[in-house]
Amino acid sequence: MSKPVRVRFAPSPTGPLHIGGVRTALFNYLFAKKHNGTFILRIEDTDQNRYVEGAEDYIVESLNWCNIPFDEGPGKNEKFGPYRQSERKHLYKQYADELIASGNAYYAFDTAEALDAERKQHEANKETFIYNWHNRLNLNNSLSLSKEETQAKLDNGDDYVIRFKSPQDETLHLKDLIRGAIKIDTNILDDKVLFKSDGMPTYHLANIVDDHLMEISHVIRGEEWLPSLALHMQLYTAFGWDAPEFAHLPLILKPTGKGKLSKRDGDKLGFPVFPLEYTSPDGDISKGYKEEGYFADAVVNFLSFLGWNPGTEQELFNLDELISAFDLDRVNKAGARFDPDKIKWFNHHYMQEQNNDDLATTFQDNHSELNDIDVNYIAMCVGLVKERATFVSDFWGLTKFFFIAPENYDEKASKKAFKDETKDLMTKLISIVSNISDFDVETLQKEIKGWITGNDIGFGKVMMPLRLALVGALQGPDVFDIMYMIGKNETIKRLEKVISVL
């Protein structure tokens, strides 16, 4: 039917990729895969002043960690390359010149200082300075100067920028896939700089040229670009090109209060706002979801619900399910509030699907106390407690009694569990345990429960102090599982110890 779907994620390498950027990348990826299309990574590094070393690698690593790799991009399947705008520098000037030739753009020689002064003066008069039709003839450009003067300046090598000549008294009818029809009066638009004096294009020019050259079919980007849509559509018209479809995603808002989610919110409220840990050139470290123990699938699932929902009650989606369920029609318009508790909830669910051996390996790597312990044993412990864990880092607190005997007993629990007859009961229990030769869960259960019911003792009187002896607190999985795991000798040792403090 229509053109093949080609979408791009076009971040600027100015630092670590924000979690909102990951969401934008994800939606592009889902849309591409849903329509058997191509997901492209393009690096928008036209601002050399803001370039940060390592940021591009960080972006690529983040996408890979999330399992949403790009199909085309720097160093990969370069059919439409290069994919770094700095390496496409030679392409842009001719297009700017083309716009000048067609009367859609003009040279401007105003210095940054002159424009700054204008802005300040307007501000003092409580006005807004806009460089456009109403004042461009009073400023220093090829429209206000004569042809000869302009040429003389160019020949002289004066610094210049190329500005778009925004039309007067027109109404633009724009279409956004998520927001519908938008009307814009061109009189309020300004003459945006398309080409900078350093020989680089601005975002606006590079973006349109590259999207055209790379045959992008759908532009899916953040809402912060919505005000630029009018300019971009006019550029397509000026070039005589077919424009792609546009979809502007809602912003991601702070968990508390109002406002856009920022790096500071993460620092303040203690959750990451970046996919991977990031160390800035200054040495500042920002937390990452990966390093904090989140599973990539959980992060992706959570992110997919920021501004989108499937219209059903299903919340748990793997990547394939997301691809088939995703639809731009179901992306909503309002800003999405970031809820750190919800992402933990997702992580807990994904924890249950993890392989115990893999979890055990990670767990062991993170705890030197476990160095000499058989990984299979650790995996069994993990299997017993993971239903109550959200992160691998929860494991130690949940399993330490499998590896080391409790040193003391929780005070409140002791009051509840230790009674006058406890000493006698525990002593008797030791002899029962000692006599069990098949030391497995079933036998333990049968023998001990049989003893309790047979003598009408009451479960709490035995089980609570027993649990306290083994764990040190009234917590943890099934008591018989614990006994089986630590073994007969250790069980008896712990019972003897608890008797000694009674």
Partner RNA sequence: UGGAUGCUAGCUCAAUUGGAAGAGCGCCUGCCUCUCAAGCAGGAGGUUGUGAGUUCAAGUCUCAUGCAUCCAACCA
Instruction: Return d(Cα 240, Cα 292) in angstroms, integer.
Output: 50
CB of 439 to RNA, least distance (A): 17
Q: Which range binds RNA by CB under 7 A, 32-40, 64-72, 141-149, 254-262?
A: 254-262
| Out of 87, 149, 224, 496, the residue judged to bind RNA by CB under 7 A | 224
Q: Does 137 bind RNA (CB under 7 A)?
A: no
Residues 35-54 that bind RNA (CB under 7 A): 44, 46-47, 49-50
Catalytic one of 76, 89, 93, 263? 263
DSSP 282-327: T--EE-BTTTTT--HHHHHHHHHTSSB--SSS-----HHHHHHH--
Cβ proximity of 276 and 58 under 8 Å:
yes
**With binding defined as CB under 7 A, does residue 182 bind RNA?**
yes
Dihedral pair phi/psi, residue 6, rounded to 5°: -135, 120
Instruction: Indicate the pairing of strand 252-253 with strand 105-108.
Output: unpaired
Residues forming beta bridges with residue 184, ordered by sequence position: 172
Q: Which is nearer to RNA, 111 or 280 (CB)?
A: 111
Any contact of residue 89 with RNA (CB under 7 A)? no
| 263 in catalytic set | yes
The maximal CA–CA distance of the chain, rounded, in angstroms, is 113
- In the bound complex, what is the minimum distance in angstroms from residue 370's beta carbon to RNA? 21
- Residue range at the interface with RNA (CB under 7 A); choices 58-66, 234-242, 272-280, 476-484: 476-484
**For residues 373 and 457, which CB has a smaller minimum distance to RNA in the complex?**
457
Q: Is 387 in the site for RNA (CB under 7 A)?
A: yes
Provide DSSP, 167-208. -SS-EEEEEETTTEEEEEEGGG----EEE-TTSPBPHHHHHH
Q: What number of CA atoms fall less than 13 Å from residue 255's CA on the CB side?
A: 16
Instruction: Point out which residues pair with 173 in neighbouring strands.
Output: 183
Nearer to RNA, 100 or 130 (CB): 130
250: nearest Cα among 343, 354, 313, 176: 176
Instruction: Rule CB under 7 A: say whether 200 interacts with RNA.
Output: yes
Q: Which one among 100, 463, 492, 502 touches RNA, defined by CB under 7 A?
A: 463
Judged by beta carbon, residue 240 or residue 454, the one nearer RNA is 454
The distance of closest approach from Cβ of residue 170 to RNA in the complex, given in angstroms and rounded to an integer, is: 14
List binders of RNA among 149-178 (CB under 7 A): 159, 161
56 binds RNA (CB under 7 A): no
Q: Pick from 117, 137, 152, 188: which binds RNA (CB under 7 A)?
A: 188
- Applying CB under 7 A, among 5, 6, 12, 325 the residue interacting with RNA is 12
Which parts of 292-351 interact with RNA (CB under 7 A)?
305-309, 311, 313, 315, 330-337, 339, 341-342, 345
**Residue 115 touches RNA, criterion: CB under 7 A:** yes
Site for RNA in 411-450 (CB under 7 A): none
> Minimum distance from CB of 342 to RNA (Å)?
5
Rounded-to-integer distance, Cα 366 and Cα 396, Å: 10
Smallest CA-to-CA distance from 447 within 6, 173, 456, 438 is with 438
Q: How many residues bind RNA (CB under 7 A)?
A: 83
In the list 5, 10, 22, 41, the residue contacting RNA (rule: CB under 7 A) is 10
CA angle 222, 224, 229 (to 5 degrees): 90
Q: For the CB of residue 476, give the shortest distance to RNA in the complex, in Å.
A: 5
- As a whole number of angstroms, the distance between CA 127 and CA 120 comes to 9
The one segment of 186-194, 267-275, 371-379, 420-428 that binds RNA by CB under 7 A? 186-194
CB 106 within 8 A of CB 143: yes
Residue 289 contacts residue 272 (beta carbons within 8 Å): yes
The dihedral through the CA atoms of 308, 314, 316, 320 has a sign that is: negative
182 pairs with which residues across the strands? 174
Which one of residues 38, 141, 202, 217 is an interface residue with RNA (CB under 7 A)?
A: 202
Catalytic residue numbers, as ranges: 263
